Homo-oligomer: A and B are copies of this chain.
Amino acid sequence: MRVGIDLGGTKIAVGLVDDSGLVIGRRRSPTLRDRGYGGVKDAVISLIRGLLEEHAVPLSRVSIVGVAAAGQIDGTTQEVLFAPNLGWVKAPLKDDMESALGVPVCVENDVNAATYGEWRFGSTDRVDNLVGVFVGTGIGGGLIFGGRVYKGATNVGGELGHITLNPWGYRCNCGNTGCFEAYCGGFYVTSRIRQRIEEGYRGKIWDLISGDLEVLHPGFIEEAAALGDELCGRTWREVVEYLGVALQNIANLLNPQVILLGGRVVLGTRGLVEEAIEVMRRRAMPASIEGLTIERTKLDEDATILGVAFMNEQIQP
């Protein structure tokens, strides 16, 4: 038996997984990050204990506890070096959890885990080379080369959200300008429209959200664009173009068999992916997209749980 944990800034999801990759039980709770590292870590541990008790699985039958955290993980010690969404710096999560549970623990980056989970359990054939692109509030990426998660020199490989797609573009919270994330991340796209509405803009978008800025999300912006909203139309064409450019860059540079698209912006819109693929096809070198398939993620939240539960035993494709 294995345990996989998706540890994010807003929620903790724990799954009990058998060795075939079946999720047998789940628990979740809000993260309550105000309690600090110690409080959150204890909450994770008690979620695990509760879940195991519920299913009458003793800790001795658990071969690995995998924790997927949104942050930079040390490749050797598996310390959480920096996790802005959790407010952690140099958190010795692996060591502390192993002491508490007496079971091997591995800590991995959450996007790498999700990509690995989708690769291993989400599709029928495990291709050699796959790039995961998760367009949500922000944008994360995961790379699988030769059937293994690619981590790079300091374990931060795959920071796809912060490749520059236009050096003179929008300011990004990372400090750079023109990042992929600043063009296509849900937070950034929504903020630009929100700001204009707050300044008095009224268009189809205003009707769609019934004047409630709280419900504004990229799906509404896409819909308003289709209905002829001028501001949303301009914004959405930019999102489509830059997502297409990002796909083209991935294809030309990495020539993967599969680009996997996930995240709320991808899954919560209608035509975005197909339109972005058109942009990619127009811009990419024909040989680079000859063997390419673009797929949507299939496992939703389980991708991270399954991925991190099995990342300690990476298999060949």
Contact A253 B165 (CB under 8 A): no
Contact B166 A253 (CB under 8 A): no
Supply 15 further A-B pairs (C-beta < 8 A) apart from A153-B255, A165-B166.
A81-B287, A127-B153, A129-B153, A153-B292, A155-B255, A159-B285, A160-B252, A162-B284, A162-B288, A163-B249, A164-B165, A164-B283, A165-B167, A176-B248, A253-B253
- Asked if A174 is at the interface of the complex by the 8 Å CB criterion, the answer is yes
Instruction: Report the Cα distance A177→B165, complex, angstroms.
Output: 12
Give, as a whole number of angstroms, the nearest-CB distance from A204 to chain B. Answer: 26
- Asked if A128 is at the interface of the complex by the 8 Å CB criterion, the answer is yes
Contact A256 B152 (CB under 8 A): yes
Measured between beta carbons, the chain B residues less than 8 angstroms from A165 are 164-167
Contact B72 A162 (CB under 8 A): no
How many monomers of this chain does the complex have?
2
Contact A167 B245 (CB under 8 A): yes
A252 and B159 in contact, given A245-B164, A283-B176 (Cβ under 8 angstroms): yes
A162 and B252 in contact, given A82-B287, A154-B287, A285-B174 (Cβ under 8 angstroms): yes
Interface residues on A, range: 35 or more
List A166-213 residues whose CB lies under 8 Å from chain B: 166-168, 174-177
Of the candidates B148, B168, B253, the one whose C-beta lies within 8 Å of that of A163 is: B253
- Asked if A141 is at the interface of the complex by the 8 Å CB criterion, the answer is yes
- Asked if A242 is at the interface of the complex by the 8 Å CB criterion, the answer is yes
Instruction: Report the Cα distance A155→B248, complex, angstroms.
Output: 16
Of the candidates B141, B154, B241, B287, the one whose C-beta lies within 8 Å of that of A156 is: B287
- Asked if A254 is at the interface of the complex by the 8 Å CB criterion, the answer is yes
Instruction: Report the Cα distance A164→B168, complex, angstroms.
Output: 13
- Asked if A271 is at the interface of the complex by the 8 Å CB criterion, the answer is no
Instruction: Report the Cα distance A284→B172, complex, angstroms.
Output: 12
Contact B167 A242 (CB under 8 A): yes
List A209-255 residues whose CB lies under 8 Å from chain B: 241-242, 245, 248-249, 252-255
- Asked if A150 is at the interface of the complex by the 8 Å CB criterion, the answer is yes
- Asked if A145 is at the interface of the complex by the 8 Å CB criterion, the answer is yes
| A-to-B contact residues, CB < 8 Å | 72, 81-82, 127-129, 141, 143, 145-146, 148, 150-160, 162-168, 174-177, 241-242, 245, 248-249, 252-257, 283-285, 287-288, 290-292
Contact B248 A154 (CB under 8 A): no
Give, as a whole number of angstroms, the nearest-CB distance from A64 to chain B. Answer: 23
Of the candidates B145, B159, B167, B174, the one whose C-beta lies within 8 Å of that of A255 is: B159
Contact B241 A167 (CB under 8 A): yes
Instruction: Report the Cα distance A91→B246, complex, angstroms.
Output: 33
Instruction: Report the Cα distance A106→B192, complex, angstroms.
Output: 54
Contact A158 B253 (CB under 8 A): yes
Contact A166 B163 (CB under 8 A): no
Query: Which of A164, A176, A241, A256 gathers most chain B CB within 10 Å?
Result: A164
Contact A288 B255 (CB under 8 A): no
Give, as a whole number of angstroms, the nearest-CB distance from A185 to chain B. Answer: 15
Measured between beta carbons, the chain B residues less than 8 angstroms from A167 are 165-166, 241-242, 245, 283
